[in-house]
Amino acid sequence: MGRDQEDLADVCAELDAFFRIDAMGPDLPFSRLLPAVYRDAGIDLQAHFTPVFLQRFHGLMVRAGRSVERIYTAVFCSDEIVAKLLSCGAQNALLICHHPIVMETSNRGFLPLSGASLAALQESGLSVYVLHTPLDVHATVSPSRALARSLWLTALEPWFEGPEGTVALYGRLPAPIQFEALLALVRETTGVPDPHFVRNHRSAQKVAVLGGGIDVSGIQEAEGLGCDVLATGTYWNQVQTEIGKGYRREFTAIRDSLRISLIECSHYASEAVVMREDVVELCEARFGLPCAFVPQDDPWY
């Protein structure tokens, strides 16, 4: 095929190799969550998702054609993102998402694609490829690395390990800055005008970063490293489930004893940097196709 399109199978094979998909076990948590979410919605997974995806929950999730003329990236695979693609007339394209389902933090938790969205993907030739854990732990392209770069951190070291590898980093700013200046940098790099924070230091230089969200044990680990600040997606888990309520109770219990400062910019925004910049750059360089990031309207949704 010419450079105006690529074979879907070839694109997926190259992404699989770069992100070491075959070396990963079934994704946690989506190997548990996604089947339950779709079962509750009365949607048959086997009718819409590839057999290989339903074994490992990474890689090509929806196959809706054989060729790719354009690549899009997004954080969450949601009805909102599908609607935006359809509204701009996207066809014969590949959507690369970090999460296979959207996490609606304000009320209902995890939400599946609707039957209408799934049908529209097929009708428009819009395939979907998912990178959750393989992106989180990648040695060069990951949410935490992108966030660290955007905050000008150097001398990066790993500190928070997931089942498949390192998911968080800490480093140093070139010089100490006021906490308010770091907060302004978070606003600038994420586009979120209202990051939440807990300020326990007036200044910052040693900073830990984690794309997504963190629990109490992770906060305490970053504090134990002597970090002045932890910047992440969420430290106050807003999901209205029993698990979310449990996280909030645990955080409330330690908040007044913390020495480290905290900044949260939303789960979405902390992972949008890598999808908007690094994954777009990777795809443009490797496939020579037009590639664009599809934003979510409300970062705190």
Segment 155-184, tens digit of pLDDT: 999 998 888 899 999 999 999 999 999 999
In a domain, 289, yes or no: no
How far apart are the C-alpha atoms of 272 and 199, rounded to whole Å? 24
21 and 123 fall within a common domain: yes
* CATH code, domain with 150: 3.40.1390.30
Domain of 85? 6-135
What stretches in the chain show pLDDT beneath 50? 1-2
29-52 b/e with 16+ CB inside 10 Å = b? ebbebbeebbeeeebebeebbbeb
pLDDT at 299: 94
In a domain, 103, yes or no: yes
77 and 178 fall within a common domain: no
Q: Choose the final residue of a domain: 135, 154, 185.
A: 135
pLDDT at 1: 41
pLDDT at 106: 66
pLDDT at 2: 41
pLDDT at 19: 98
223 and 113 fall within a common domain: no
Q: Within 13 Å and on the Cβ side, how many CA atoms surround 57?
A: 17
Q: Within 13 Å and on the Cβ side, how many CA atoms surround 245?
A: 5
pLDDT at 160: 86
120 and 16 fall within a common domain: yes
Q: Within 13 Å and on the Cβ side, how many CA atoms surround 12?
A: 25
pLDDT one-digit tens code per residue, 21-47:
999 999 999 999 999 999 999 999 999
pLDDT at 42: 97
pTM for the whole structure: 0.96
Q: Within 13 Å and on the Cβ side, how many CA atoms surround 9?
A: 3
In a domain, 82, yes or no: yes
Q: Choose the final residue of a domain: 107, 135, 163.
A: 135
In a domain, 225, yes or no: yes
